[in-house]
Structure 1
């Protein structure tokens, strides 16, 4: 008599268990995208991005309705695994040739500003007594690429859904304010188009927001802003890798403290560095080597965006709005002060390069 294979029904059961929750998250995503399309129809552009709308709608639903147990596996899967896949696909948006096109001086200055902004923003967060993970999320969102950075870093540092939702909500609101006010600052400072593009690329959170902030100024501003912004996005990989190393070392130290063991075995690479960080770097290398067809890039970007929106809907459905509101003032203060520092650093770099 043939032996049965117990692993097959177990795996099928695991797959089927996530389906209802994923469908629920997809429904919230559809609603968010519909609202975004309505914005475009009414105002000509989406002032609030679909990513933000998904988490806001999800949180609003969660505040009046608790998802039943049948939905929870799919919500957890959407919030973590789908987000990790989106991070991998994000690596295809950056190539070495694109980065080098901005010149060594501006490239080095951009990397330095990201590093300083990370440190200062984290310091501000801790000074105002935010938890470490929340301070890290805000610092990465401010210095790198807003919602995408927060979403990518969250699984690396094991951030709670409430922390992710709060960081994204306040960063998103301020991001819209920046898009609206940055062109006015450029006019007041009488900045040339190239310099204004650099300012936008260094300070605006998301790539679509860079386009919104620079297109009214001109094509040159849009091109320079987009290039600088892509360099900031590129920093997401090394930052996630560094945070993964820090988390691994911290867990190792905790293990030593608990067991009082004289020696801890080496940590496998798969546990030291999350798989999606490795995937991000490999995808970026493949793009740089021309292994990814150019025609496939828009599709990959669209899939990454869709998965990110679904994961944000899942985070919203996992978030207690009351917990976010309790820490709202401090988070808003940290995000605002961090952005002011970032704008100051960007203007300083522009002035310095103009003198060389």
Structure 2
């Protein structure tokens, strides 16, 4: 194994200097995370619900801090560790939330429909973003965020394709705004389109980004809409694993600079498994298998989900601390248009699937 490869896969905590060099940056990311959680509680107290999740608030706070103050060199190792390794660890833990039983519960027709929906949405969203002039990595982030589960999908895909903090922050910022708009606007379609509770549950499950947002959007339509929407949304979230796996196989091409030729691979230099599929994707699949086989105790599932969520927020704080707000602002118009048009297309595809499957 070459020195470059070792440096790439060796966690920062194990490199010269040890964990102590991570402490300043890690504590800074934790401080931003605590502030984000505090703001979420303040939102709930003032408005009765949290419109912006801690994940989004952490990026916004981190970016605001980075704009007002540039961290010195001794902060960088902990920030980099939080942005990369902790996020990859969170992806592994997310595998525990994936169960084969959840997939099978929706029935084969709807399951195939959701699978096809996500594939079409990812490819269509990517094509639309590229037509609007977005770079390849940001186009992938926006497409996956819209098609699967918003912020969580963006956060999971980012380390696989080598997206930088500016690209992640821009994608999440505009996706978050559109996510709130979808929650508020979708119920207005019920009388206009004559949707039943089941139909609206499927529509919300296919278009709204986060599970809590699905609950908020479907609550006015009753328990049936909530249950259907949540189930469809969970199956849609499960598509994150296969999508990330495919992207990991395409990673060498995604990381190429524009116009660069692909490196020549000889028979004696074939990529090994850990280079084709990152360690955290293998970990995700392993955790999913353990969950499906019932080898993860039920009382452990909630703490694992909580740990994954917390690590993701810390990682987003770290990404925010590396964001150049001016870069996000320059990309704003194109990203906003891409996210908006992708979401509208998503809704149209979802309505078409509802009619095609004859959902009553």
- Bin for the TM-score computed over the shorter chain: over 0.9
Q: Residue 61 of structure 1 corresponds to which residue in structure 2? A: 65
Q: Residue 300 of structure 2 corresponds to which residue in structure 1? A: 296
The 5 A counterparts of 1:212-291 are 212-248=216-252, 263=267, 265-291=269-295
TM-score of the aligned structures, taking structure 2 as reference length:
0.92
The 5 A counterparts of 1:1-356 are 11=15, 13-248=17-252, 263=267, 265-354=269-358
The whole-number CA distance in structure 2 between the counterparts of 1:355 and 1:99 is 18
- Any gaps of 5 or more consecutive residues in structure 2? 1-12
SS in 1 for 2:358: helix
Say if 1:252 and 1:264, in contact at 8 Å, map to a contact too: no
CA shift, 1:257, in A, is 5.2
SS in 1 for 2:357: helix
The whole-number CA distance in structure 1 between the counterparts of 2:80 and 2:132 is 31
The whole-number CA distance in structure 2 between the counterparts of 1:326 and 1:289 is 48
190-199 or 28-37: bigger deviation: 190-199
Say if 1:165 and 1:319, in contact at 8 Å, map to a contact too: yes
SS in 1 for 2:148: helix
Say if 1:142 and 1:261 are closer, same or farther in 2 by CA, change over 3 A. closer
TM-score of the aligned structures, taking structure 1 as reference length:
0.93
Say if 2:98 and 2:291, in contact at 8 Å, map to a contact too: yes
19-28 or 88-97: bigger deviation: 88-97
Say if 1:163 and 1:324, in contact at 8 Å, map to a contact too: yes
The whole-number CA distance in structure 2 between the counterparts of 1:136 and 1:80 is 18
CA shift, 1:262, in A, is 5.3
CA shift, 1:129, in A, is 1.2
CA shift, 1:260, in A, is 6.0
CA shift, 1:261, in A, is 6.8
- Any gaps of 5 or more consecutive residues in structure 1? 1-8
- What RMSD, in angstroms, separates the aligned Cα atoms of the two structures? 2.1
Q: Residue 8 of structure 2 corresponds to which residue in structure 1? A: none
304-313 or 185-194: bigger deviation: 185-194
The whole-number CA distance in structure 2 between the counterparts of 1:344 and 1:112 is 14
The whole-number CA distance in structure 2 between the counterparts of 1:144 and 1:261 is 33
CA shift, 1:216, in A, is 2.7
Say if 1:121 and 1:139, in contact at 8 Å, map to a contact too: yes
Say if 1:93 and 1:284, in contact at 8 Å, map to a contact too: yes
Say if 1:179 and 1:210, in contact at 8 Å, map to a contact too: yes
The whole-number CA distance in structure 1 between the counterparts of 2:161 and 2:198 is 37
- Structure 1, residues 228-263: CA drift from partner, whole Å, max 9, x if none? 111111111111111111124677999x95876754
CA shift, 1:188, in A, is 2.6
Say if 2:201 and 2:225, in contact at 8 Å, map to a contact too: yes
